Amino acid sequence: MKRTIGILALALAVVGGAAGVAVRAADKGKAPMVVGTWTGGWGVYTPPPLAGPNPEKPSPYTQAQKQMDCKVELLESGKWQATFEGECGRPYKYTVKMIGRQSGDSVLFNGTADLGDKDGGVYDWIGRATEKEFVGFFSSGKYTGTFRLDRPKPAVAAAQ
């Protein structure tokens, strides 16, 4: 009898485990296509001043968005490389390796890169990418900011 109960418990565990894997796979869905080209803007994050007896001085940074382009490549499962390119008073081009995990129809990512003392040192990135939108937050010891990118619009053929 004990042996039968043990075998039945083992069979239920195997069936239950297989069902759990099937449910997790169904919840996960199709991985979004986040590789390719992106375009949009970035800006320094400027929260509103704190109120109170000693309010903060206004930030010297503006919320003006600057143009940024990006190319995302898949290195291996769960690892991507993003090359950001644009203008910040001068041209820049940085490559960041990011680790990501799928969450529904999005990839949640994070990465770290040293851009050198001249450009703010070591930065950390976090964010989310879907097939249509790539948004993130970056910070270093000197700067904090955000970016929002989408797929480039197809070029319209000239009218004939």
Check: CB of residue 110 under 8 Å from CB of residue 125. yes
Output the DSSP codes for 32-84: P---EEEEEEEEE--PPPPPSSSPPPPPSS----EEEEEEEEEEETTEEEEEE
3-class secondary structure, 149: strand
Residue reference for tokens 């680790």: 99
pLDDT at 8: 31
Rounded to whole angstroms, how far apart are CA atoms 30 and 92? Answer: 34
Domain boundaries, the chain: 1-30, 36-49+62-150
Check: CB of residue 138 under 8 Å from CB of residue 147. yes
pLDDT digits (tens, 9 = 90+) for 130-159: 999 999 999 999 889 999 999 998 876 655
- Indicate whether 122 pLDDT > 70: yes
pLDDT digits (tens, 9 = 90+) for 3-36: 433 333 333 333 343 333 333 333 456 778 999 9
Domain 36-49+62-150 has CATH 2.40.128.20: yes
